[in-house]
Chains A and B, each alone.
Chain A
């Protein structure tokens, strides 16, 4: 049961253009979302987050948009740089039955071409 879905496994863009990474979720109890970036042979690195009380959060070249009614969020990278090439994961914390866990999507591989 995939509660956080990243339906596109990969995306390729040209340097300087916008990259848009999408994420859908099914659990209405999610109230906070995080994006992580992962390079090969490294652990995921926290990138940006958004609370459900907001619909946008911006940090430099990275902006995350949240559409609660559609249960959809997206990460925009502008302008894209070759160093942004990595796998990006969307994640959400979930508290259930006294247990806390972080639920990840399958990830999307972004390739930024020079």
Chain B
């Protein structure tokens, strides 16, 4: 079975631009969460979606938004990119909630 997939793998953007990151969960998983991992830190929770509804939001500005589609895939959008948005963005899926979440390989975003 395929694991969690994310695209693209790497991305370079300029300050002020907008970016969309994509995630496909493990088949049968209805919950998708997004995390930001800055170098030297642990992943920071951004969003959780379950059955296409937002279930949780971390302490991130409104420039960050997300959605989940009927097939449970998800997109994370970041507007007006800042240098500080450079990070590894991780997507995780699970059957329910946060227990035993399965992570994708991440998208490395670099903002110049």
Q: Tell me which residues across on chain A come within 8 A of B33, comparing CB atoms.
A: 102
Q: Which of B4, B48, B91 has the most CB of A within 10 A?
A: B48
Query: For residues 61 through 107 of chain A, which have their beta carbon under 8 Å from a beta carbon of chain B?
Result: 89, 91, 93, 99-107
- Asked if B57 and A41 sit within 8 Å, CB to CB, the answer is no
Residue of A nearest to B41 (CB): A106
Q: Tell me which residues across on chain A come within 8 A of B97, comparing CB atoms.
A: 93, 100
- Asked if A99 and B57 sit within 8 Å, CB to CB, the answer is yes
Cα distance, A46 to B43, chains bound together (Å):
14
Residue of A nearest to B103 (CB): A43
Name the contact of B56 in the complex, choosing from A41, A44, A46, A101 (C-beta under 8 A). Answer: A101
- Asked if B105 and A44 sit within 8 Å, CB to CB, the answer is no
Cα distance, A41 to B55, chains bound together (Å):
28
Query: For residues 55 through 90 of chain B, which have their beta carbon under 8 Å from a beta carbon of chain A?
Result: 55-58, 90
Cα distance, A42 to B105, chains bound together (Å):
4
- Asked if A43 and B99 sit within 8 Å, CB to CB, the answer is no
Name the contact of A99 in the complex, choosing from B4, B43, B55, B99 (C-beta under 8 A). Answer: B55
Q: Tell me which residues across on chain A come within 8 A of B57, comparing CB atoms.
A: 99
Name the contact of A100 in the complex, choosing from B35, B43, B48, B90 (C-beta under 8 A). Answer: B48
Cα distance, A104 to B43, chains bound together (Å):
6
Cα distance, A34 to B42, chains bound together (Å):
13
A22 interface residue, CB < 8 Å from B?
Answer: no
Which residues of A approach B to under 8 Å, CB–CB? 4, 6, 32, 34, 36, 41-46, 49, 89, 91, 93, 99-107
